[in-house]
Copies of this chain bind each other. A is one copy, B any other.
Amino acid sequence: MVLTNFPHSQATPFDLSAYLIERKQQVETALEQAIAVVYPERIYESMRYSLMAGGKRLRPILCLATAELVGGTIEMAMPTACALEMVHTMSLIHDDLPAMDNDDFRRGKPTNHKAYGEDIAILAGDALLAYAFEFIATQTQQVPADRLLRVIAHLGKAAGAAGLVGGQVVDLESEGKSEVGVETLNFIHLHKTAALLESSVVSGAMLAGAQQSDIERLSRYAQHIGLAFQIVDDVLDITSTQEELGKSIGKDMQAQKVTYPSIWGIDESKRQAQKLVEDAKQELQVFGDRRRPLAALADYITARTH
């Protein structure tokens, strides 16, 4: 249980653990209802197989939390929250394909193409991506149409060549190259990881009608935690391998992949991640007590150990 105190607040400590459990349950329920299995069943089963495979549901939760921060409701943000998870799931399915990272397992289960075949896996990703936009456009209640268009535009950018796809392309191009610098590493993770986290936060803000200056603050918050998230991931790849397997080098280093720790070392990487989290939380100051879920989520990112 992670408890976060705010020294200048009179409120009771914020119970992030309970918050995450509750929100995750709400998201799971909405996702469960989002896709019905009809003819041809195999494609809908394949979409659901990966969409309902668990995970932290961090993107939907960030979207809901930001909508509430700005004064909106969970209800107005839930369809977009589900769409964000559909886009995230699409990127996992396609990244796991033999032509990409060629992974056979994800979250302890066979990857989509291992369970359904490559052809269905490609199509399930396509279908989830297309459905994400349809879902926002048809399922969102009580949000003006012009706000929804901004959300759709932002999500489209985050999912495409200027976001997820662009990050994956540079990641693929960087494989096996030792001269990759921190700028390239930042590009990869700002696009491959941070772009969709940022879209989660910004879309929540847009749905609730946030003013532009707040949207920009929240965008910076999300980009900071997105990079911090990746740095912590890189560090954990080394340290958790050391502890769990008794080996001195991790998966990334074996794959000769340039990572933050391989450039900065472990201690400096941890310091950089911590600084990014502090910068992220600084952006939230103006929101008063309402900032607590997003602030606690930022702490959670560097505090996690697996």
Chain B residues with CB below 8 A from A127, complex form:
160-161, 165-166
Complexed CA–CA distance, A157 and B134 (Å): 6
Chain B residues with CB below 8 A from A123, complex form:
94, 161, 165, 168-169
Complexed CA–CA distance, A90 and B138 (Å): 23
Chain B residues with CB below 8 A from A145, complex form:
144-146, 148-149
Chain B residues with CB below 8 A from A166, complex form:
40, 43, 127
Instruction: Give the contact stretch, choosing among A8-16, A50-58, A114-122.
Output: A114-122
Kindly identify, within residues 80 to 125 of chain A, every residue whose CB is under 8 Å from any CB belonging to chain B. Answer: 90-91, 94, 97, 99-100, 117-120, 122-123, 125
User: Would you call B129 and A161 a contact (CB within 8 A)?
Assistant: no
User: CB within 8 A of A43: which of B97, B126, B130, B161?
Assistant: B161
User: CB within 8 A of A156: which of B100, B122, B137, B160?
Assistant: B137
Given the interface pairs A146-B145, A165-B43, the reply to whether A152 lies near B137 with Cβ below 8 Å is: yes
Question: How would you classify the secondary structure of chain A's contact residues: helix, strand, loop or mixed?
Answer: helix
Kindly identify, within residues 159 to 200 of chain A, every residue whose CB is under 8 Å from any CB belonging to chain B. Answer: 159-161, 163-166, 168-170, 172-173
Chain B residue with Cβ nearest A91? B126
User: Would you call B131 and A156 a contact (CB within 8 A)?
Assistant: yes
User: Would you call A122 and B134 a contact (CB within 8 A)?
Assistant: no
Given the interface pairs A97-B122, A126-B125, the reply to whether A137 lies near B149 with Cβ below 8 Å is: yes
**Chain A interface extent, by class:** 35 or more
- Asked if A153 CB lies within 8 Å of chain B CBs, one says yes
User: Would you call A133 and B133 a contact (CB within 8 A)?
Assistant: yes
Complexed CA–CA distance, A291 and B174 (Å): 54
Complexed CA–CA distance, A42 and B47 (Å): 29
User: Would you call A126 and B159 a contact (CB within 8 A)?
Assistant: yes
A161 to chain B, nearest CB (A): 4
Residue of A130, A159, A160, A161 with most partner-chain B CB within 10 A: A130
User: Would you call A42 and B126 a contact (CB within 8 A)?
Assistant: no
Complexed CA–CA distance, A277 and B166 (Å): 44
Chain B residues with CB below 8 A from A153, complex form:
133-134, 137-138
- Asked if A49 CB lies within 8 Å of chain B CBs, one says no
